[in-house]
Amino acid sequence: MAPSDERTGWRARLTSPTATALFALCFVLLIGLIFSGDGAFYKWSTHRDALRQASVYGILACGMTFVIITAGIDLSVGSVLALVAVAFSILSIHKDWSPWLTIPACVAIGAACGATSGAVIAKLRIQPFIVTLAMMVFARGLAKTISGGMKVSTAMQRPDGSWTAAPVPDIFKAIDSRLLGDNISVVSLIFIACIIVSWIILARLRWGRYLYAIGGNEEAARLSGVPVVAMKILAYSLAGAFSAVAGLCQAAQEQQGDPEAGIGYELTAIAIVVIGGTNLMGGRGGIGLTLLGTLTIGYLDKILSVNAVPEASRLMLTGVIIIVAVLLQRRKD
Amino acid sequence: MYTMQAVAGPTQTDTPLFAMTGICKTFGVQQVLRDVAFDLRAGEVHVLAGENGAGKSTLMRILGGIILADHGHSHVNGSEVLFRNPRDAANSGVAIIHQELSLVGPMSVADNLFLGHESSTAGWLHQTGTAQRTRDVLSRVSLRIDPRRAVDSLPISSQQLVEIAKALALDAQIIVMDEPTSALSEPEVRNLFARIADLKSQGCGIIYITHRLEEIYTIADRISVLRDGALVATRDRSDLPPDELVRLMVGRSISDQAPRRTVTCNDLRLRVQHCTVRATRAGVPPIVSDVSFDVRRGEILGVVGLEGSGVSELLWATFGALANRATSEITIDGQRIRINSPRDAIDAGIALVTNDRKRTGLILGMDIVQNATLAALPQLSPFTWLNHSAETSLASQSTQQLSLRAASMRQHVSTLSGGNQQKVVLAKWMGTNPRVLLLDDPTRGVDVGAKHEIYLLMNQWSEQGRSIVFSSSEWPELLQVSDRIIVMHRGRIVASFEGGAATPADLLRAAMGSTRDE
User: What mean pLDDT do residues B287-292 have?
Assistant: 93
**Is the model's pLDDT at B386 over the cut of 50?**
yes
Lowest mean pLDDT among A319-333, B52-66, B441-455, B469-483: A319-333
Instruction: Determine the residue of chain A that is closest to B391 in CA distance.
Output: A206
B363/A226 touch (CB, cutoff 8 Å), yes or no: no
End-to-end CA distance of chain B: 50
Ramachandran assignment for A125, one of left (phi > 0), alpha (psi -120 to 50 degrees), beta (any other): left
Interface residue A177 vs chain B (CB under 8 A): no
**Is the model's pLDDT at B12 over the cut of 50?**
no
Q: Which long-range contacts (CB under 8 A, 24 or more apart) does A28-36 make?
A: A28/A296, A28/A299, A28/A300, A28/A303, A29/A299, A31/A303, A32/A299, A32/A302, A32/A303, A35/A303, A35/A307, A36/A306
Alpha-carbon span B233 to B250, nearest angstrom: 13
User: What mean pLDDT do residues B451-471 have?
Assistant: 90
Check residue B363 and give its pLDDT: 93
Q: Which letter, b or e, does each residue of B470-483 get, where b requires 16 or more Cβ atoms within 10 Å of its Cβ?
A: bbbbbbbbbbbbbb
Check residue A287 and give its pLDDT: 94
Q: Which residue type, as a one-letter code, is found at position B511?
A: A
Chain B positions in Cβ-Cβ contact with residue A209 (cut-off 8 Å):
370, 374, 377, 386
Answer yes or no: are the C-beta atoms of A116 and A135 closer than 8 Å.
Answer: yes
Lowest mean pLDDT among A81-90, A201-210, B122-131, B507-516: B122-131
**Would you tell me which residues 209-248 of chain A have a C-beta closer than 8 angstroms to some C-beta of chain B?**
209-210, 212-213, 216-217, 219-227
Q: Which of B366, B385, B414, B426 to mutate to test the interface with A (most CBs of A within 10 A)?
A: B366
Check residue A229 and give its pLDDT: 95
Answer yes or no: are the C-beta atoms of A84 and A258 closer than 8 Å.
Answer: no
- Residues present in chain B in total: 518
Alpha-carbon span B222 to B207, nearest angstrom: 10
CA-based nearest distance A278→chain B, Å:
13
Interface residue B417 vs chain A (CB under 8 A): no
Strand, coil or helix: B494: strand
Lowest mean pLDDT among A261-270, B40-49, B245-254, B439-448: B245-254
Interface residue A94 vs chain B (CB under 8 A): no
Which residue of A8, A204, A283 is in closest CB contact with B385? Answer: A204
Alpha-carbon span B506 to B386, nearest angstrom: 51
Measured CA distances, B327 to A17, B330, B488 (Å): 46, 10, 18
User: What mean pLDDT do residues A188-210 have?
Assistant: 94
User: What mean pLDDT do residues A71-93 have?
Assistant: 93
Q: Which segment, A91-95, A253-257, B332-336, is predicted with the most confidence on average?
A: B332-336
User: What mean pLDDT do residues B267-285 have?
Assistant: 87
Residues 6 or more apart whose CB falls under 8 angstroms from that of B141 comprise: B161, B164, B165, B168, B195, B198
Domains contained in chain A, CATH given: 16-154+162-329 (1.10.3470)
Interface residue B386 vs chain A (CB under 8 A): yes
**Is the model's pLDDT at B378 over the cut of 70?**
yes
Check residue B2 and give its pLDDT: 36
Distance of CA A159 to the CA centre of its chain: 40
Ramachandran assignment for B260, one of left (phi > 0), alpha (psi -120 to 50 degrees), beta (any other): beta
Q: Which residue type, as a one-letter code, is found at position A288?
A: G
Alpha-carbon span B194 to B200, nearest angstrom: 10
CA-based nearest distance A125→chain B, Å:
14
Average pLDDT, chain B: 85
Check residue B1 and give its pLDDT: 33
Domains contained in chain B, CATH given: 2-93+172-250 (3.40.50.300), 108-170 (no CATH), 266-349+434-518 (3.40.50.300), 357-433 (no CATH)
Alpha-carbon span A147 to A140, nearest angstrom: 11
B363/A216 touch (CB, cutoff 8 Å), yes or no: yes
**Is the model's pLDDT at A208 over the cut of 60?**
yes
Edge-to-edge strands of the sheet including B174-178?
B94-97, B174-178, B205-209, B45-49, B222-227, B230-236
DSSP H helix total and E strand total for chain B: 18, 22
Q: What is the DSSP letter of B151?
A: G
Chain B positions in Cβ-Cβ contact with residue A208 (cut-off 8 Å):
386
Are β-strands B467-471 and B300-304 bridged in parallel, bridged antiparallel, or unpaired? parallel
Confidence of residue A330 (pLDDT cuts 50, 70, 90): low
Average pLDDT, chain A: 87
**Would you tell me which residues 28-47 of chain B have a C-beta closer than 8 angstroms to some C-beta of chain A?**
none
Confidence of residue B208 (pLDDT cuts 50, 70, 90): very high
Check residue B224 and give its pLDDT: 93
Strand, coil or helix: B322: coil
**Is the model's pLDDT at B254 over the cut of 60?**
no
Say how many C-beta atoms besides its own lie within 10 A of residue B339's C-beta.
23
Alpha-carbon span A216 to B21, nearest angstrom: 45
Check residue B272 and give its pLDDT: 94
Are β-strands B94-97 and B18-27 bridged in parallel, bridged antiparallel, or unpaired? unpaired
Nearest residue to B315 (alpha-carbon basis) of B333, B296, B298, B330: B330
Confidence of residue B99 (pLDDT cuts 50, 70, 90): low
Q: Specify the DSSP element, H or E, that contains A52.
A: helix A44-69
**Is the model's pLDDT at B256 over the cut of 50?**
no
Nearest residue to B357 (alpha-carbon basis) of A142, A166, A223: A223
Q: What is the pLDDT of residues A115-141, one digit of tens each?
A: 999 999 999 999 999 999 999 999 999
Confidence of residue A272 (pLDDT cuts 50, 70, 90): very high
Interface residue A1 vs chain B (CB under 8 A): yes
A223/B360 touch (CB, cutoff 8 Å), yes or no: yes
Lowest mean pLDDT among A173-182, A197-206, B222-231, B267-276: A173-182
Strand partners, B150: B108
User: What mean pLDDT do residues B91-117 have?
Assistant: 81
Answer yes or no: are the C-beta atoms of A215 and A207 closer than 8 Å.
Answer: no
Check residue B8 and give its pLDDT: 39
Question: pLDDT: is B48 or A18 the higher one?
Answer: B48
Check residue B264 and give its pLDDT: 63
Alpha-carbon span B245 to B247, nearest angstrom: 5
CA-based nearest distance A269→chain B, Å:
24
Question: pLDDT: is A236 or B245 the higher one?
Answer: A236
Are β-strands B436-440 and B350-353 bridged in parallel, bridged antiparallel, or unpaired? parallel
Angle at the Cα of B423 from the Cα atoms of B422 and B425, rounded to 5 degrees? 65
User: What mean pLDDT do residues B456-477 have?
Assistant: 88
Chain B positions in Cβ-Cβ contact with residue A205 (cut-off 8 Å):
381, 384-386
Q: What is the pLDDT of residues B72-81, one digit of tens each?
A: 999 998 889 9
